[in-house]
Structure 1
Amino acid sequence: MDAATQQTHAAHPKAAIVTTCILAALAGLMFGLDVGVISGATQFIQAEFKVSDHVIEWIVSAMMGGAAVGSVGAGWMSAALGRKRSLILAGILFVAGSIFCAVAGTPTILIVARFVLGLAIGIAAFTAPLYLAEVAPEKIRGAMISTYQLMITTGIFLAFLSDTAFSASGNWRWMLGVIAAPGVLFLIGLFFLPDSPRWLLLVGRRHDAETVLTRLRGDQDTVRREIADIDEQLKTRQHGWSMFRENPNFRRSVGLGVLLQVVQQFTGINVVMYYAPRIFKEMGYDTHTQMVFTAVVGLTNMLATLIALAFVDRWGRKPILYAGFAMMAVGLGTVGTMMSLGIATRGEQLFTVGMLLFFIVGFAMSAGPLIWTLCAEVQPLKGRDFGIACSTFTNWITNMVVGATFLSLLSGFGNANTFWLYAGLNAVFIVVTFWLVPETKNVSLEQIERNLMSGKALRKIGQ
């Protein structure tokens, strides 16, 4: 690369890094569209196909099953094909799955189509945070990775708005099919992404890695230091499964990533995201109002994510997690109490909706973005693909369990008890955060790895 090119790249490194990270994080938009769109469609699917709540649970949760499978394959693809090509494959599957859903003639075909969509989401959910962790400078890494969660919440909100627009006609096929359009735009944008410099060094493409880092960092001294840090790590040739078998410290980081994803899903967030209209129905609202409040849930989720973006690299991970879990426990506990006492008046309805939104704010500002951030940060470079694959697979399995059991819990365990159960879990997660979660604010990935491999307690590896 000549001096003129270097100068051009160095002129706007901040613009380059932000543009690159936002474009990669658009994978989260696809994720959010798919999560949100099914919420408004289920009642119309149930009416057309005349199926039970159990079949609806399968239609909802099939996507998570596909995502679990996709996340397993994503580890290999990300290492062999690169982060960029893996995201392109996810985009192709997303567009195909969306169209497949729209033309499904039976519940079985719809379940298969949702599974294909899940494959796309599983690949993207693994690859996008990994890519973001590897291209973002450490000072803004938390905020940049959190843009992935912001895009998820934006997608959910847009899907809820789309569902509300189509709800008057009850045309669930348009609800599920229209998301193919932004999927095509996302796919086109992916071709403009650079490859991850860390992956380029892993496969021996040093000149390409230097070119990308120069574009993203601008300063040549910073580029040299970062390449030197990565080179130092690459001297130890350990990979995935063999590293997991041989290195107990790596097993600790994998275990932490798995636990964090269990925690995120059992906050109960996807109970609301997948079944919001049903929850508002239990509060006594009619179909139109259910859809309007579902859109409000999406808007609240999106706006509250901005709190994490603004403060994650100033306040730190753990203080925000403490606040978020406390808010979620109070919010769901109050919703359960109101359902137990009976929601009779307009004021009681609005108060209960307000507490559900309070829960949404708690999640969106904390566990939503920060769990993904931490899962990317705590894994050492040589085992990062394997570690994130394990945690992402766990995310989707627990996500599927939540999606496949909520309606059954409501009917068998009761409305109030179901919400109290999730409130209690959020209270437990405050203790989990204290004992096991490290504070990684303003700490390089290389320093976190050194602390982990030296045997420091998990909650101290960010010190």
Structure 2
Amino acid sequence: MDVAVEKQVEAAHPKAALVTTCILAALAGLMFGLDIGVISGAQQFIQKDFGATDRIIEWVVSSMTLGAAAGALAAGWMSAALGRKRSLMLGAVLFIAGSLFCAMAWNAPSLIAARVVLGLAIGVATFTAPLYLAEVAPERIRGAMISTYQLMITTGILLAFLSDTAFSSTGNWRWMLGVISVPGALFMVGLFFLPDSPRWLMLRGRRDDAQAVLAKLRGDVDVVKKELADIEEQLKTKQHGWSMFRENRNFRRSVGLGMLLQAMQQFTGMNVVMYYAPRIFKEMGYDTHAQMWFTAAVGLTNVLATLIAFGLVDRLGRKPILYAGFSMMAVGLGVVGTMMALGINGRAEQLFTVGMLLFFIVGFAMSAGPLIWTLCSEVQPLKGRDFGIAASTFTNWATNFVVGVTFLSLMAGIGNAQTFWLYAALNAVFIVFTFWLVPETKGVTLEQIERNLMKGNPLRKIGR
């Protein structure tokens, strides 16, 4: 074996292969971001064209998350049976079909159905891409590589906001929704160049193939042999998936933690800002033109702030960044709510309120945005990783649906200010949850995290 590994390593270009592989896989996040962003700018024109009520618009926006929840559940089985690469391919096909269906919708119910199809694609991608990235990236840069997924989400949102702004002068929402099929097709082509996950290959008994992939990605004989040995040791455990969940209390703890983390991410309020940014700026007193440009500013801030996490996650660690992020979000939304309660009357007050909303976005993009996905992929043991990430991703979409389908109703029911105060209070609570339950996983191998979990160590200590 040593001779074979040495020959494979000699022919490898590990840095280029690893970066290319992770960028292509993270492009799944681009599709997610495009869909979030595009519906934000299009909804006011859809509402006018179809004569839809706010309640119908909530369903148009949120129906994608229902499909995504179903897609996330199905992706757990697909990822194990078909592999990470083929699952991403299926997601790309559904994304292209769903976006074209949205562009051809003839009424609100057909548009809702089209967005459910689009959601299926997003659910598959949001499950599979972070899982794939966690399994191909070495532990020293795993956090940064998984953060590329969040960076692609934010980039997709920004591109969609800019596209919406360009089309807003004509109000052509069909072009807004249909144009995202183009990057979906490009993503599909790129997937043909991805290798399969070495961990999935080992799970399927394809050791030689896994060795070849690791040699290409690592470029170091000793590292390849050690990683293969670590995976082989874990595979001796016969439990997996649902049976492991029923029989192993420690696995249930990691699944519960993953689900809690995803619920925390959604109840920060970030996605309601992404979905309803023009509506929020309208409540601040801005006209349609200003709403669209400030929405684009939201997207740009989101991208730039994500780079903070990209550079710091493997240097400062997960928990310090989460503490800072939740604190910023609590303050930002609390001030926005207070300004709405006092009344936003002048230009200075408008700009200050926008600034605090952008402050909130910086807090999310540098912390809970990328780091929740990172942690959810890190805390699940190998034999139950598909099941665990499926459960947490389903939770993400279920809670995403809740916040999306209630935001306009909350503002109409309890008031604008009270709605923002509610989300500010939740962010403050999440600081406590982070302290008591979230582990620090910086620089720790997935195998060591699993060993600590299965020993019964407290969740916050399994990264030690």
Superposition misfits of 4+ residues, deviation over 6 angstroms: none
Alpha-carbon distance in 1 for matches of 2:71, 2:8: 38
1:340 Cα deviation from its structure 2 partner: 0.1
1:237 Cα deviation from its structure 2 partner: 1.1
1:15 Cα deviation from its structure 2 partner: 1.4
Partner of 1:318 in structure 2?
A: 319
Partner of 1:449 in structure 2?
A: 450
Tell me the SS of whatever aligns to 1:194. coil
1:18 Cα deviation from its structure 2 partner: 1.0
Alpha-carbon distance in 2 for matches of 1:36, 1:2: 45
Instruction: Using structure 1 for the length normalisation, give the TM-score.
Output: 0.99
Alpha-carbon distance in 2 for matches of 1:333, 1:271: 15
Alpha-carbon distance in 2 for matches of 1:77, 1:63: 20
Partner of 1:415 in structure 2?
A: 416
Alpha-carbon distance in 1 for matches of 2:11, 2:183: 31
Residues 4-58 of structure 1 show CA distances to partners (whole Å, capped at 9, x for unaligned) of 554121xx21111111001100000000001110000000000000010000000
Partner of 2:330 in structure 1?
A: 329
Is the CA contact (8 Å cut-off) linking 2:5 and 2:215 kept in structure 1? Answer: no
Partner of 1:230 in structure 2?
A: 231
Residues 140-189 of structure 1 show CA distances to partners (whole Å, capped at 9, x for unaligned) of 00000010000000000000000000000000000000000011000000
Check 1:373–1:2 CA distance in 2 against 1; reply closer, same or farther (3 A cut): closer
Alpha-carbon distance in 2 for matches of 1:228, 1:288: 59
Q: Does 1:85 align with 2:89?
A: no
Partner of 2:52 in structure 1?
A: 51
Q: Work out the number of aligned pairs and report it.
A: 461
Alpha-carbon distance in 1 for matches of 2:123, 2:182: 20
Alpha-carbon distance in 2 for matches of 1:24, 1:3: 27
Q: Does 1:180 align with 2:153?
A: no
Partner of 1:106 in structure 2?
A: 107
Partner of 1:285 in structure 2?
A: 286
Alpha-carbon distance in 2 for matches of 1:224, 1:432: 38
Tell me the SS of whatever aligns to 2:205. coil
Tell me the SS of whatever aligns to 2:105. coil
Alpha-carbon distance in 2 for matches of 1:181, 1:236: 44
Partner of 1:30 in structure 2?
A: 31
Residues 179-227 of structure 1 show CA distances to partners (whole Å, capped at 9, x for unaligned) of 0001100000001000000000000111100000000000011000000
Alpha-carbon distance in 1 for matches of 2:341, 2:316: 37
Q: Does 1:386 align with 2:387?
A: yes
Alpha-carbon distance in 2 for matches of 1:8, 1:205: 21
Tell me the SS of whatever aligns to 2:11. helix
Alpha-carbon distance in 2 for matches of 1:342, 1:302: 30
Residues 398-446 of structure 1 show CA distances to partners (whole Å, capped at 9, x for unaligned) of 0000000000001011000000000000000000000000000000000
Tell me the SS of whatever aligns to 1:344. coil
Is the CA contact (8 Å cut-off) linking 2:5 and 2:221 kept in structure 1? Answer: no
Q: How does 1:166-315 map to 2 (within 5 A)?
A: 166-315=167-316
Amino acid of the residue matched to residue 10 of structure 2? Q
Amino acid of the residue matched to residue 319 of structure 2? K
Partner of 1:8 in structure 2?
A: 11
Tell me the SS of whatever aligns to 1:357. helix
Alpha-carbon distance in 2 for matches of 1:59, 1:2: 52
Alpha-carbon distance in 2 for matches of 1:164, 1:182: 18
Alpha-carbon distance in 2 for matches of 1:129, 1:214: 21
Partner of 1:402 in structure 2?
A: 403
Residues 327-349 of structure 1 show CA distances to partners (whole Å, capped at 9, x for unaligned) of 00000000000000000000000
Instruction: Using structure 2 for the length normalisation, give the TM-score.
Output: 0.99
Alpha-carbon distance in 2 for matches of 1:13, 1:188: 22
Alpha-carbon distance in 2 for matches of 1:424, 1:171: 38
Residues 377-411 of structure 1 show CA distances to partners (whole Å, capped at 9, x for unaligned) of 00000000000000000000000000000000010
Alpha-carbon distance in 1 for matches of 2:280, 2:116: 25
Partner of 2:366 in structure 1?
A: 365
Is the CA contact (8 Å cut-off) linking 2:244 and 2:384 kept in structure 1? Answer: yes
Partner of 2:156 in structure 1?
A: 155
Alpha-carbon distance in 2 for matches of 1:209, 1:58: 44
Amino acid of the residue matched to residue 174 of structure 1? W
Alpha-carbon distance in 1 for matches of 2:96, 2:313: 33
Is the CA contact (8 Å cut-off) linking 2:8 and 2:212 kept in structure 1? Answer: no
Alpha-carbon distance in 2 for matches of 1:300, 1:452: 37
Alpha-carbon distance in 1 for matches of 2:121, 2:294: 29
Alpha-carbon distance in 1 for matches of 2:295, 2:264: 24
Is the CA contact (8 Å cut-off) linking 2:6 and 2:221 kept in structure 1? Answer: no
Amino acid of the residue matched to residue 228 of structure 1? A
CA RMSD, Structure 1 to Structure 2 (Å): 0.8
Amino acid of the residue matched to residue 110 of structure 1? L
Is the CA contact (8 Å cut-off) linking 2:21 and 2:194 kept in structure 1? Answer: yes
Partner of 1:117 in structure 2?
A: 118
Residues 281-310 of structure 1 show CA distances to partners (whole Å, capped at 9, x for unaligned) of 000000000000000000000110000000
Tell me the SS of whatever aligns to 2:285. coil
Alpha-carbon distance in 1 for matches of 2:7, 2:419: 63
Partner of 1:74 in structure 2?
A: 75
Q: How does 1:122-133 map to 2 (within 5 A)?
A: 122-133=123-134
Alpha-carbon distance in 2 for matches of 1:200, 1:179: 32
Is the CA contact (8 Å cut-off) linking 2:73 and 2:391 kept in structure 1? Answer: yes
Alpha-carbon distance in 1 for matches of 2:347, 2:341: 16
Alpha-carbon distance in 2 for matches of 1:80, 1:155: 29
Alpha-carbon distance in 2 for matches of 1:206, 1:460: 32
Of all paired residues, the percent bearing the same amino acid is: 78
Alpha-carbon distance in 2 for matches of 1:398, 1:232: 36
Alpha-carbon distance in 2 for matches of 1:183, 1:285: 33
Alpha-carbon distance in 2 for matches of 1:387, 1:417: 35
Residues 214-252 of structure 1 show CA distances to partners (whole Å, capped at 9, x for unaligned) of 000000110000000000000011111000000000000
Unaligned runs of 5+ in 1: none
Is the CA contact (8 Å cut-off) linking 2:9 and 2:221 kept in structure 1? Answer: no
